[in-house]
Amino acid sequence: MRIFSARKKESYDQNLPLPRHIGIIMDGNGRWATKRNLPRSVGHRRGSIVFETLIQYCIDIGIEVVTVYAFSTENWRRPKEEVDGIMQLLVENLRKWLDDDRENNMRMRFIGDLSLFSDETHTLIDEVIQKSARFQQQLNIAINYGSRAELVRAFNLLKDKEGPLAETDISNALYTYGQPDPDLIIRPGGEVRISNFMLWQSAYAEYFFTEKLWPDFTKHDIDEAIAYFQSKKRRFGGLDDNRSSVNL
């Protein structure tokens, strides 16, 4: 694992395969605002704008699946004012997506324990899921999500299964069932950890850590992360002379 600081931007090689599934831990919104003597809520709103821009970029370049870590199970511990602001921003974005008539968009899935959200939020989520069902590319929004909780949920779903469990049983009981595992995990914000994000699914993912805060992220940073991914030999436990050593 390497952490990247400011340096010459790299563009990915369009002749090499892209990651099919990218996971993004959108970190640094509050610190971005604090550094500018602004309320943390301003950082979250700025991060939301960046999210919209970069998700559209992922659509445009052909990424099949994107999963964004928007709100963790641990984030409820933050000050009530900040949490309330994030919940309000979620509702605003859901309404905005419902009003978006673009033909080039992503099919939405909301992963995590949604039981703590308001009835209004539940209704909007259901409407967004229905409206986006026609699209091919997939966007997972991880809200009130924690990977350990996801695994506990999966094991409980499988507790009555007869016979020994297989890896495919567990994968199919996760929120991301039916999707390829993430090939690349991107974490801005300077922290070099994955913070309870897709622990099972990311077993063979490449990790791109950078000190840049999420509200400062650009398309060039996505390009740089993809270029890093393309530079790796992905062996999946094999040897260099095995076909899996090629960037597939």
CATH of the domain at 236: 3.40.1180.10
Q: Which of these, 239, 180, 214, 199, lies nearest to 43 by C-alpha position?
A: 214
Cβ atoms 71, 117 nearer than 8 A: no
Look up the pTM and report it.
0.90
Residue 235 maps to a domain: yes
Q: What is the mean pLDDT of the chain?
A: 91
Cα–Cα separations (whole angstroms), residue 210 to 6, 49, 72, 170, 219:
9, 19, 20, 31, 14
pLDDT reported for residue 155 = 97
- Residue 27 among the catalytic residues: yes
Q: Which of 13, 75, 126, 140 is catalytic?
A: 75
Asked if the structure places residue 10 within a domain, the reply is no
Q: What is the mean pLDDT of residues 21-37?
A: 97
Average the pLDDT over 25-44 and give the result.
97
- Give a yes or no: residue 99 inside a domain: yes
Our CA dihedral for 160, 163, 165, 171, rounded to 10 degrees, sits at -60
Interval 184-202 mean pLDDT: 97
Catalytic residue among 13, 15, 27, 119: 27
- In this prediction, residues 148-167 reach a mean pLDDT of 96
**pLDDT on residue 9:** 61
Domain count, the chain: 1
CB atoms within 10 A of CB 235: 13
Q: Domain range spanning residue 47?
A: 26-245
Report the DSSP beta bridge partners of residue 65. Answer: 21, 138
CA 214 vs CA 107, 111, 188, 220: distances in Å: 23, 21, 6, 13
Element (H, E) at 96: helix 80-99
Q: Is residue 234 part of a domain?
A: yes
Supply the pLDDT for residue 101: 76
Task: Over range 45-55, report the average pLDDT.
Answer: 97
The answer as to whether 21 is a domain residue is: no
Catalytic annotation present for 105: no
Q: Grade residue 241 by pLDDT with cuts at 50, 70 and 90.
A: very low
Question: In 3D, which of 204, 209, 201, 199 has the Cα closest to residue 245?
Answer: 204
